Amino acid sequence: MEKKEKQLDEEVLKKIFSNKILNLSKAMDDIFLNFKGIEYSIMPTEEFKKLKKLEEINYITQLEIIERAHIVALSSIFRTRKWIFGIFISYYNKNYYLFASSLRGLIEAIGDSFYTLKKIPLTLATHFYSINLALKGELTNPFYLKDLEDDLIHYTHARKLKGNEKKQLPDYYNAKQTTEYLNEIKDGNESIIDLYSELCQISHPASNSLNSFLFEEDGKLVLHNSEGTDGYLIESLLSKYKDAIGNTISTGLLSSFIVLKLINKFEYPELFIKSEYLGILDKVDLWKECQELIVKSENEHHKRYKN
């Protein structure tokens, strides 16, 4: 029988990431541990081309938009959680290399996710009424969120294109440089870039990659295998960058949760995610802005398409 994953250890969370993400970790655990799996129905292009009625076209295009947004939000939560467990394992075992690699992977993953996540909430909220009409099969005017769809496809399908692939495939299939993703999470949190640079030097062949067992003292190089060094180096990283790490995780998770809470408001129960902890978003400024845009979206729709 497959062993069920445990909840994240709150005491270790506080030691590594500070109290800032405790409530977010509860929401992350609640969603992950109670998730039963879901199949998404992306219509093949040839079938889509056969659709004639605008209501049907709008239904499929908007359903696929919120399905893809659902995938981005949930997979970002799941991936973040997996990297955090990797960090836990390395912290418990005082493995400096595993800790640096896991933390680097976490930062890269959140940067990648947030590149798309930051654009979803306000776009969905701005067009909420039209999307909801489409999901009910009642939207009769042309409506297509191409830029958002391109970003969502980029999240799930982008990779390093080779040779003629760059000419044959749309640009959103081409993965960007890591620095472009990291630039999305550095605003107001610039030290995360300094941390990432240090982590790369630990993972790659560089002088920092030898810190665990080689140092210079009194003009001499000393090579050792002391078990205490890794723990000291880990704590040194945390003392310097603890807030930056917590801010980065918070940025990614809040965006994922807000997307899920927005999707819960659409009249499409198949994508509903139940979690009492999503209530923590009610006081978040971005959620308040989304609420205002949802109300505004109905008024704007009626103004634009009134008879």
Q: What is the pLDDT of residues 273-287, one digit of tens each?
A: 999 889 989 999 999
Q: Could you tell me if residue 278 is inside a domain?
A: yes
pLDDT tens profile 156-204: 887 887 877 777 777 777 777 888 888 888 887 889 999 999 898 887 7
Question: What is the domain extent for residue 267?
Answer: 19-32+44-82+101-177+242-305
Number of structural domains (the chain) is 1
Residues in the chain, how many?
307
CA 182 – CA 108 distance, rounded (Å)? 7
Q: Could you tell me if residue 266 is inside a domain?
A: yes
Q: Could you tell me if residue 11 is inside a domain?
A: no
Task: Supply the pTM of this predicted model.
Answer: 0.89
Q: Could you tell me if residue 192 is inside a domain?
A: no
Give Cα separations from 124 to 115, 218, 219, 257, 284 (angstroms).
Answer: 16, 62, 61, 14, 17
Q: Could you tell me if residue 5 is inside a domain?
A: no
Q: Could you tell me if residue 120 is inside a domain?
A: yes
Per-residue b or e along 158-167, where b marks 16 or more CB atoms closer than 10 Å to that residue's CB: beeeeeeeee
Q: Could you tell me if residue 140 is inside a domain?
A: yes
pLDDT tens, N- to C-terminus, the chain (307 residues): 344 567 777 888 878 887 778 888 889 999 999 998 899 988 888 998 899 899 999 999 999 999 999 999 999 999 999 999 999 999 988 998 899 999 999 999 999 999 999 999 999 999 999 999 999 999 999 899 999 998 998 888 878 878 777 777 777 777 778 888 888 888 878 899 999 998 988 877 665 656 665 566 667 666 656 676 888 888 989 999 988 998 899 999 999 999 999 999 998 999 999 998 899 899 999 999 999 999 999 888 787 776 5
Q: Could you tell me if residue 202 is inside a domain?
A: no
